[in-house]
């Protein structure tokens, strides 16, 4: 009798996530944080690098974006050879990269796409230019299954003020006009509790309430990257979106509870 080996079964069941993002040399955010998250959750992570940054736990000092066609080619060879069960988008840096990524996604409409619209570093530094933001809204949103902005990012993308739960919902509905689901995180809003709001494509609305974790005056680095990557892994397993988001939030909070103070600025997520 011929039986499948454990290694073969593992290879057949592992979920493959293509990460399209910029590099963070501290490994607290960017594609390095994505890699750690996907691996910790049992997935196989591939990367298409969009930009190289000079940053530390305090701030972003320099960004060097790659050419759009080079980003697209990285994506294409991975998708053609290995394939992907989900795609996670992070920092795209320029309009040229946004256009190139949108072109690739149009060829793979059946792969779920989770996008963290990285516009600036938590400690400062512009990570997507103005024209890039316009192209993001026009060309990329229609290909995205879920976008995960924080309140400042939602304000930039919609032009709406986002300082309350009601304003979260209004901004989410504005973003959803392009046909994507929206998870608008509430960590930047005041209060002892954090309210994250999920608006699904079918109009279903969910709210996730959690107590605020203490991260010192400087806060945490890489939370958006970690959350979106965790959602991508859960989505790749076919978990319903509202459950995938809830599970990813739990995972994020575990990484923050075990966060590390390794520099002079923001705390870095731990690995769980």
Taking only the tens of pLDDT, the chain with its 272 residues reads 445 555 555 666 899 999 999 999 988 889 999 999 999 999 999 999 999 999 887 878 898 999 999 999 999 999 999 999 999 999 999 999 999 999 999 999 999 999 999 875 554 455 677 788 889 889 999 999 999 999 989 998 899 999 888 999 999 999 999 899 999 998 888 788 889 999 999 999 999 998 887 654 446 667 889 999 999 999 999 999 999 999 999 998 887 776 666 766 665 666 65
Distance CA 66, CA 132 (A): 14
pLDDT value for 115: 96
pLDDT value for 79: 98
Residues 6+ apart with CB under 8 A from 234: 41, 243, 244, 245, 247, 248
From the CB of residue 109, how many other CB atoms can be counted at a distance below 10 Å?
8
The Cα-based distances of 1 to 4, 8 in angstroms read 10, 16
- Cα 256–chain centre separation: 16
Closest C-alpha among 133, 128, 75, 130 to residue 101: 75
State the SS3 of 158-175: HCCCCCCHHHHHHHHHHH
Q: Where do the domains of the chain lie? A: 15-257
Whole-model pTM above 0.75? Answer: yes
Q: Is 63 helix (H, G, I), strand (E, B) or coil?
A: strand
Q: Looking at domain 15-257, what is its CATH homologous superfamily? A: Ribokinase (3.40.1190.20)
């Amino acid at each position: 009798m011929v039986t499948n080996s454990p290694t073969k079964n593992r290879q057949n069941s592992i979920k493959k996530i293509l990460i399209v993002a910029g590099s963070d040399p501290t490994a607290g955010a960017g594609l390095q944080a994505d890699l750690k998250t996907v691996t910790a959750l049992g997935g196989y992570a591939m990367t298409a690098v969009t930009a190289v940054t000079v940053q530390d736990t305090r701030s972003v000092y320099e960004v060097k974006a790659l050419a759009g066609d080079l980003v697209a080619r990285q994506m294409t060879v991975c998708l053609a050879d290995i394939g992907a069960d989900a795609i996670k988008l992070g920092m795209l840096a320029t309009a040229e990269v946004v256009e190139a990524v949108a072109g690739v996604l149009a060829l793979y409409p059946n792969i779920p796409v989770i996008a963290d619209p990285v516009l600036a570093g938590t400690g400062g530094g512009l990570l997507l230019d103005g024209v890039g933001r316009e192209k993001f809204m026009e060309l990329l949103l229609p290909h995205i299954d879920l976008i995960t902005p924080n309140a400042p990012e939602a304000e930039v993308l919609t032009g709406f003020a986002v300082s309350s739960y009601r304003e979260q919902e209004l901004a989410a509905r504005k973003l959803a006009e392009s046909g994507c689901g929206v998870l608008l995180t509430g960590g930047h809003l005041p209060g002892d509790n954090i309210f994250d709001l999920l608006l699904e494509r079918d109009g279903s609305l969910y709210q996730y309430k959690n107590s605020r974790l203490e991260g010192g005056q400087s806060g945490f680095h890489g939370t958006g990257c970690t959350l979106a990557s965790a959602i991508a892994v859960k989505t790749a397993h076919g978990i319903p979106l509202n459950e995938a988001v809830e599970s990813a939030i739990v995972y994020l909070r575990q990484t923050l509870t075990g966060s590390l103070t390794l520099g002079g600025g923001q705390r870095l997520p731990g690995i769980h």
